Structure 1
Amino acid sequence: MYDIIGDIHGQASMLKSLLKSMGYKKENGVFSHESRKAVFLGDFINRGPEIRDTLILVRRMVEAGNALAVLGNHELNAIIYELKDKTGKPIAKRLLKYRLPLNQTLEEFLHIPDEYRSHIKWLRTLPMFLELDGIRVVHACWKDENIALLKESLTEGKLRRSFLKKVSKNNSELSTAFWQTCKGIDFQLPKDLLVFDNRGQARRSFRSKWWVNPQGLTFKELAFESRFDLPNYTIPDELNITREPYGEDEPIVFFGHYCLRNGANILAPNLCCLDSCVSRNGKLAAYRWSGEKKLLAENIVK
């Protein structure tokens, strides 16, 4: 069936080792398995030492039909950063925001820009989410209304320039759906609440558990793998937004993005986060799914 693999971030050697441990073999430069298919959760680029090798490995597997892949926020940032309008001007206004995380990736492709442009063009053909034989795959957040809106807008099998221009402006229902799907739902802190991370920087928001209803939770309970401590008191109602929790009877969702440095990857019988913080001295994680309706801890591979 499917081997779902979390955020890689330029760690090609670790990816090769993981694939080999799961029985994948390399033939004619491409990894394959006789009875299974890999599914990559996005964030192939940035941070690691083998970004180009990672892109080539993932792309070859997908193009050969040995793997599927969804886009992560890092790939989407790279796509938006590179796109120009018909006059040759960048479609994104705040280019520095997109550029800073890409420095290492751009450095690897500095002397082979044509190859980089080829990869960007290929990335634009990848989906933002997948529904496969009763499971769901997304980089950061599965919210039904967001997915429905993206389905309406992404009908051509490619991220069109007009679509990317709309979402890069961050001022519409479509852009909210786009960014929540690849980056999750950030909770905005009130202006009078100062929270500092371990570097002494003030933080204005934190990553939240998108699968729960925030009503009645404390800031600490709602946070998901935050890199700074949050107060353990109940979020005031005037700051909260009621949302439908992800139901226990909903299909299994596999996602990455959240850098699980500690703790279990399986968050509920139908929720699995496979980002095990490989970019911060963690391990590359995979889940070997074979049709089960509820997740099994023994199917996690690292």
Structure 2
Amino acid sequence: MYDIIGDVHGQASILKDLLKSMGYKKESGVFKHESRKAIFVGDFINRGPQIRDTLSIVRSMVEAGSAMAILGNHELNAIIFELKDKAGKPFAKRLLKYRLPLIQTLEEFVHFPDEYRSYIRWMRSLPMFLELDGIRVVHACWQDKNIALLKENITEGRLRKSFLRKISKNNSELSTAFWQTCKGIDFQLPKDLLVFDNKGQPHRSFRSKWWLNPQGKNFQELSFESRFDLPAYTIPPEVNGARKPYDEDQPIVFFGHYCLKNGDNILAPNLCCLDSCISRNGKLTAYRWSGEKKLTLKNIVK
């Protein structure tokens, strides 16, 4: 069946070792398995020391049919950073928020501009999510209403520039669906309210457990934040909205993004986060799915 692989972030050597440990072998320069297919959850680029090699491995596998891949927020930032307006000038003046995470990737490709443009075109052909044989794969967050809205607006098998320009303005229901799908749902506090982490640092927002209804939860219960711990203070109902939870009778969702250096990858019988924080000296993680309806720890590979 499928081997779902978490965020690689330019760690090509570690990716090769993981693929070999799962029985993938190189044939004509491409990693293949005789009976299984790999699925990459996005974030192939940035941070690591072997970004070009990583992209080569993932793309060659996808094009040979031995893997599938979806886009992570890092690939989407790269795509938007390369956008041009109708006059051929950089769109939105190449906003700093898109450029900063890309510095290492851009440096690796400084002498290979045509190759980089080819990868950008290829990445625009990748989906933002997959639904396969009873499982779902997304980079950060599966919300049915967001997925439905993206399906309505991405209809040609690739991300059109007109769509991306609209998304980059961040002022619509569609852009919210787009960014929540690849970056998750941040809990935003009002301007006059701060929450302090275990080191005494103030925060106005934090990553939340998108699969829960936040009503009635405290900050600690709702937070899905790998960088700091929040207190068990009740969230004031005036600032705590509601959303439909992702129930255990829904299909299994595999995702990445959240840098779980410590803790379990299986969060519920149908929820698995495969980002084990390789970019911060963690591990590269995969789940070997073979049709089971509930996730099991024995199928986690690191």
Give TM class, smaller chain.
over 0.9
Provide the residue aligned with 1:144 in structure 2: 144
Q: Distance in 1 between matches of 2:198 and 2:296?
A: 35
* Unmatched tracts of structure 2, length 5 or more: none
1:187 aligns with 2:176: no
Q: Is the 8 A contact 1:206 1:226 kept in 2?
A: no
Deviates more, 1:229-238 or 1:54-63: 229-238
TM-score (norm 1): 0.97
Residue 16 of structure 1 aligns to a residue whose secondary structure is helix
CA distance in 1 between partners of 2:121 and 2:299 (Å):
34
Quickly say closer, same or farther: Cα 1:153–1:32, change in 2 above 3 A. Answer: same
Distance in 1 between residues matched to 2:167 and 2:94, nearest whole Å: 13
The 1:109–1:202 alpha-carbon spacing in structure 2 relative to 1, beyond 3 Å, is farther
Match of 2:170 in 1: 170
Q: 1:299 to 1:104 in 2, by over 3 A?
A: same
Moved over 4 A (4+): 195-202
Q: Is the 8 A contact 1:129 1:137 kept in 2?
A: yes
Determine helix, strand or coil for the equivalent of 1:141: coil
* Matched residue type, 1:284: L
- The residue aligned with 1:105 is 105
Which runs of 5 or more residues in structure 1 are unaligned?
Answer: none
1:196–1:228 CA contact under 8 A, matched in 2: no
Give aligned-pair identity as a percent.
82
CA contact (8 A) 2:197 2:231 kept: no
Distance in structure 2 (CA, Å) of the matches to 1:77 and 1:296? 33
Q: Which residue of 2 aligns with 1:280?
A: 280
8 Å CA contact 1:4–1:286 kept in 2: the answer is: yes
| Per-residue deviation, 1:229 | 2.9
State the alpha-carbon separation in 2 of the partners of residues 90 and 250 from structure 1.
42
* Letter matched to residue 71 of structure 1: L
1:1-20 CA-partner distances (Å, limit 9, x unpaired): 00000000000000000000
* Residue in 2 that maps onto 1:37: 37
Q: Residue 197 of structure 2 contacts residue 230 of structure 2 at CA under 8 Å; is this kept in 1?
A: no
Post-superposition offset of 1:91: 2.6
Query: Structure 1 residues 94, 198: CA separation in 2 closer, same or farther (over 3 Å shift)?
Result: farther
Report the 3-state secondary structure (helix = DSSP H, G, I; strand = E; otherwise coil) of the residue aligned with 1:253: strand
Q: Secondary structure of 2:276's match?
A: coil
Q: Cα gap change, 1:192/1:231 in structure 2, threshold over 3 Å: closer, same or farther?
A: farther
Q: What CA deviation, in whole Å up to 9, does each residue of 1:193-247 have, x standing for no partner?
A: 3346799864321000000000111111100034123231111111011101001
Give a deviation string over 1:109-168, Cα, whole Å, max 9, x none.
001111000000000000000000000000000000000000000000010001001110
Query: Please, what is the CA RMSD of the aligned residues?
Result: 1.4
Q: Number of residues paired by the alignment?
A: 302
Q: CA deviation at 1:57?
A: 0.4
Would the aligned equivalents of 1:7 and 1:41 in 2 still touch at CA under 8 Å?
yes
Q: How far apart in 2 are the matches of 1:149 and 1:174?
A: 7
Letter in 2 for 1:81: F
- Kept in 1, the 8 Å contact 2:226–2:259? The answer is no
Summarize the Cα distance change of 1:201–1:230 in structure 2 as closer, same or farther, 3 Å threshold.
closer
Aligned residue number for residue 58 of structure 2: 58
